[in-house]
Each structure stands twice: as structure tokens, then as C-alpha cells.
Copies of this chain bind each other. A is one copy, B any other.
Amino acid sequence: MSRHGALEDILGYRFTDAQLLERALTHRSHGADHNERLEFLGDGVLGCAIADELYARYPDLAEGKLTRLRASVVREEALAEVGNLLGIAGHLRFDARQTLTPSVVADAVEALFGALLLDGGYPAARAAAVRAFGPLLERIDPEEVAKDAKSQLQEIMNERRKKLPEYRTVATHGEPHRRSFEVECVLVDLGLSTTGSGTSLQRAQQQAAKKMLERLGR
């Protein structure tokens, strides 16, 4: 059994090609034979496998809700959670100076499923995904998938026939590779504004939108 036996046990799958599995578990900080291309492939594999599973699991659910469900299952935080369930940190090869961020863990999870597609084909990848994402899939409530704050806010304004929220970038801090953003969310018709910050414009906007929802009592 390879040093990844415990991981394979949780996935319910044994790799034929040990080198492929090793590559999936190698961060680019460790060397040239790293997992980034497999991560690209795995993103596609998981998108398909999770869609496939949700389609079967919720035969009456409309497209919009399925789309939102899938997004909630394959978002970075969820992937990182699956990575933690898999104990991936103990298997990953990376440079000591590299921080094991949720993003690094999430990428390795994707890479793992890219490797699985190549090693065992789609049915094996799908079965392992259902297994690894099982706890997450059990937890989601199709009727209560929280829309992201920006979507919620937009919908509310739409319903009220008000102007849609505007997002203005107020400030950008830090070096290009390590930016942080300050964003203002403005509801012109209501004369309201909130601010948010984050390491991407998207995150900063979401935070500003969340605060606006609270302001509106949502």
C-alpha cells in the first residue's frame, strides 16, 4: 500500500498509476511535476460529477436551484472542507515556506479528482466524489441554499422596482500580488451605503452587500 492508503480508503478507490496520484498531491512550490494541470481537469470533473449527482438526487428541483446547490458544493470553502475530511494536508508535498491555505487545499482536492478521471474513468471519479462530498451533500437543503449576498440584494431591489445596487471601489491597498480592496455598496434610491473589504473585489463586494442586507433588516 502506498503512503496514501488512508486517503484512498476514504475515497473508496485505489490508484493504478501511483505517479499520477503523487502529482495530484504535489503543490507547485515543491517542484516541476506539480498538480496545476490536474487541478484544471478536476475542476471540470467535479463540476460534472456533482451536477450529475444533484440531478439524480433532486428530480423535481428546477435548474436555478440546482445551479445554486452545485455552486455551494464546489466553492473553495467547501472543497477545502472536503480536503480536511480527506486529511489531505498530511499527504500534500509543498515547500515549507508555502502556507497551507484553504485555497491550496481546495486546489489539491480538484487535482485529486482530475487524477481519478485519468486513472479510473468517469464512473470511478463520480463514485469517489459522491463519497468524499457525502457529508456536504447530506447537509445542503435545496430550499434553503443561501444565495450569495450580492444576488440576494439584487433580487430584493428588483422586487421593489428600485435601482440595482452599485459597487464602487473606494481604495486598493498593498502590492499587486497581495491586494486588498475597499468597496462601497450604494443603493441610490434609498440613499444608503455600506462598505466592505477583502482580498478580492468580489469578496469586498460580498461583504458590503451583506452589511447592506443587515441594514435592510434581512
> CB within 8 Å of B: which residues of A?
36-37, 39-41, 43-45, 47-52, 55, 61-63, 66-67, 70, 114, 117, 121-123, 158, 161, 163-164, 166-169, 172, 176, 179, 201
- Would you list 16 pairs from A and B whose C-beta atoms are within 8 A, ordered by A residue? A36-B63, A37-B55, A39-B63, A40-B70, A43-B51, A44-B47, A44-B50, A44-B52, A44-B70, A52-B117, A55-B114, A122-B123, A158-B176, A161-B176, A164-B179, A166-B169
CA distance A70 to B161 in the complex (A): 37
Residues of B within 8 A of A67 (CB): 40
DSSP class of A's interface residues: helix, strand, loop or mixed?
helix
CA distance A123 to B62 in the complex (A): 26
Chain B residue at minimum C-beta to C-beta distance from A58: B37
Partner pick for A62 among B37, B48, B167, B172, CB 8 A cutoff: B37
